[in-house]
Amino acid sequence: MGKSQHLKIKDLIPELKRIAGDNYVLDDQADLLVYEYDGSIDRGNPVVVVLPDTTKEISQVLKLARSNSIPVVARGAGTGLSGGAIAEQGGIVLSMARMNQILEVNRSDRYAVVEPGVVNLDLSTHVASEGLYYAPDPSSQRACTIGGNIAENSGGPHCLAYGVTTNHVLGMEVVLADGTITWFGENERDGIGYDLRGITIGSEGTLAIVTKISVRLLRLPEHVKTMLMSFETIEDASAAVTGIIGAGMVPAALEMMDHFCIKAAVGAGYPEGAGAVLLVELDGLLESVEEESEEIEAICREFSPLEIRVATDSLEREKLWSGRKGVLGALGRLAPNYYLVDGTIPRTKLVDVLKKINEISERSGYPIANLLHAGDGNLHPSILFDERKPGDVENVLAIGAEILRICVDSGGVLSGEHGIGLEKQDQMPLMFSEEDMATMSLLKLAFETEDLLNPGKVFPTGAGCGDISQARAIARVGPGAYI
């Protein structure tokens, strides 16, 4: 962003304060530092941060930004892991922190209407007394927001059985780039016609800003059983995963952690000395859960487990899960920084791909902690490093790119749940041709964003990646064209 545009935004601050209130427009450098990063390693300072309280305020901000050609980036809790909430081009960051109300809970039709700043876990806690819960459960669910989950189409440990965010969103109120307020989808049931709801979910805030969400609620299961299986090697654990899924078993969750993760997760009670552990959870009717757990235990015993442990009560279950969901933060015990890669592969390729990742670690000298949603082949290798050492950041980015290439070459994809954002743009050509990306870019034209909503995300913009951008799409189809 040029100096002139920076000054233009500064000139608009009085108007932004009129819209949102003096206390909810931040432009002091010390305040802006909080918004310069997300959960990964990218950095980028906005010129100003606005914390709106209503859809109308968001609409007014977008109209003002549109008339002055200023980029706007919507931001949830900043827990994203691909640089999606980074204001790379400066501009305005719209923080949804104040829009955090649960507006409606309909027990009979099993849905809730929430604002985008509602913390994921808070919704399930709120409706638990009604015997309900919200299924998508990212590992950061104690902090991440449902609006951010929609931007990235987040998953979580239980997406193996229950699906990711898009499977649980019925409809949403959105504000388009010109300030228009509209509704995509339905409030109580699946809709008909073009699925604008589905297009918006996972679009990383590049098409519209979501201001209300109608989500599907599920009944709490009658019975839950959580098991921890430890193995001597990660290969044995991977083979057990393939055996479980190959036998037609679909647990509610099937997670894997390697020896680095076990070492970091102090206090979770994971067995020391194991090469890997599987965290398996089943839920449903008591009889079916018990029957399936016996089958899974029998399958795992074929791969020489060191131990099979079953949580005896809810406290032990919570302890096992706290280790899993807190392991990324716990990696700080092993290194000052980590760079987390998010790729998905066919489950049958787990052993082969994890072997290649280990070879990369040995060759490069960087430890790689492997955390997996193993049941659906979603890998989260975390490359441990120290950003203070010259060359470390560049080295781990190169390692991450190599791992993603291995994932794609094995028949997988670039992302399971963290999105493309800034970090995977250069890898998009591994999966998509220039024609593919130019066609996808047409969506921005259809939504008439003028590339002002979260610009510079998802698609590669460097000449080395084909320079696929909105400008290229405009050149192909003409300004103002629709699909």
Q: Domain locations in the chain?
A: 3-95, 102-219, 223-328, 335-425, 432-476
Sequential pLDDT tens for the chain (483 residues) = 667 778 889 999 999 999 999 999 999 999 999 999 899 888 999 999 999 999 999 999 999 999 999 999 999 999 999 999 999 999 999 999 999 999 999 999 999 999 999 999 999 999 999 999 999 999 999 999 999 999 999 999 999 999 999 999 999 999 999 999 999 998 766 677 899 999 999 999 999 999 999 999 999 999 999 999 999 999 999 999 999 999 999 999 999 999 999 999 998 999 989 999 999 999 999 999 999 999 999 999 999 999 999 999 999 999 999 999 999 999 999 999 999 999 999 999 999 999 999 999 999 999 999 999 999 999 999 999 999 999 999 999 999 999 999 999 999 999 999 999 999 999 999 999 999 999 999 999 999 999 999 999 998 864 333 333 333 333 333 333 322
pLDDT in tens, 236-253: 999 999 999 999 999 999
Q: What is the pLDDT of residue 189?
A: 66
Could you tell me if 423 and 40 are in contact, meaning their C-beta atoms sit under 8 angstroms apart?
Answer: yes
Overall fold of domain 223-328: Alpha-Beta Plaits (3.30.70)
Which CATH class name applies to 102-219?
alpha beta
Domain 3-95 is found in CATH 3.30.43.10: yes
Q: What is the pLDDT of residue 13?
A: 97
User: Can you give the pTM of this predicted structure?
Assistant: 0.92
- Is 267 exposed, middle or buried, given 0-12, 13-18 or 19+ CB atoms closer than 10 A? exposed
Q: What is the pLDDT of residue 1?
A: 62
Query: What tokens appear for 74 in the block?
Result: 């919507």
Q: What is the pLDDT of residue 481?
A: 31
- Within 8 A by CB and 6+ apart from 480, the residues are 445, 448
Place of tokens 């919704």: 123
Q: What is the pLDDT of residue 482?
A: 26
SS (H, E, C) the chain: CCHHHHHHHHHHHHHHHHHHCHHHEECCHHHHHHHCCCCCCCCCCCCEEECCCCHHHHHHHHHHHHHCCCCEEEECCCCCCCCCCCCCCCCEEEECCCCCCEEEEECCCCEEEECCCCEHHHHHHHHHHHCEECCCCCCCCCCCEHHHHHHHCCCCCCHHHHCCHHHHEEEEEEECCCCCEEEEECCCCCCCCCCHHHHHCCCCCCCCEEEEEEEECEECCCEEEEEEEEECCHHHHHHHHHHHHHCCCCCCEEEEEEHHHHHHCCCCCCCCCCCEEEEEEEEECHHHHHHHHHHHHHHHHCCCCCEEEECCCHHHHHHHHHHHHCHHHHHHHCCCEEEECCEECCHHHHHHHHHHHHHHHHHHCCCEEEEEEHHHCEEEEEEEECCCCCCHHHHHHHHHHHHHHHHHHCCCECCCCCCCCCCCHHHHHHCCCHHHHHHHHHHHHHCCCCCCECCCCCCCCCHHHCCCCHHHHHHHHCCCCCC
Domains 3-95 and 223-328 share a fold: no
Q: N- to C-terminal Cα distance for the chain?
A: 30
CA distances from 429 to 243, 267, 314 (A): 33, 42, 46
Q: What is the pLDDT of residue 208?
A: 98
Looking at the domain that runs over 335-425, which CATH code has it been given? 3.30.70.2740
Q: Which of 131, 123, 120, 104 is nearest to 188 (CA)?
A: 104
